[in-house]
Amino acid sequence: MMEGIGHYLAELVEGWPEKLTLSAIFGTLSTLLGGEPYLWMACFGMLTADLALGLWKAIRQGAFDLTVMERGVLKFPSYAIYIILSSVLENTTARAFGIDVPLVDMFLAYLVFTDSVSVLRHLEGLGFDVPPALKAIAVRGKKRMEEKVGKVGK
């Protein structure tokens, strides 16, 4: 038992410069563009998991395609542009109309739900048993986010 705890603590400490760097990046992005740091990390985590699991699934099924991988990799800069745009819109709305709408948080949450649905599909494709309740939460959460934004846009 103690050996397991020691191993876990060693793994936790290993790579601390990288962990510190990621924390600083997410903190800076959150400060500059708005949004909760947790949502930034969740978005980056889901995006990375989606890419990694999609790649694993494609290789395992013998269906690796460079074009599909390119599309997955290009989601990173695309998401960055979309988040910057949502920050600009959030700040413009606040300054022009005096209305504080958490657009960055809403958009980050939407991206988390969207990519979590994709992650769950990849896991199913890899043969993992995905709990139906978890899948339902992700799918319904994504749908509710789309409905809420649709109502705001009308």
For 114-129, write each residue's pLDDT tens digit.
999 999 999 999 999 9
Q: pLDDT digit string (tens) for 77-100?
A: 899 899 999 999 999 999 999 998
* Tally of structural domains, the chain: 1
pTM, to two decimals: 0.77
> Structural domain of residue 64, as residue ranges?
2-153
Q: What are phi and psi of 82, to 5 degrees?
A: -65, -40
> What's the rounded Cα separation, in Å, for the pair 147 and 105?
16
- At position 16, the amino acid (one-letter code) is W
The answer to whether the CB of 35 falls within 8 A of the CB of 104 is yes
Direct distance between the N- and C-terminal alpha carbons of the chain, in angstroms, rounded to an integer: 58
Is residue 101 classed as helix, strand or coil in its secondary structure?
Answer: coil
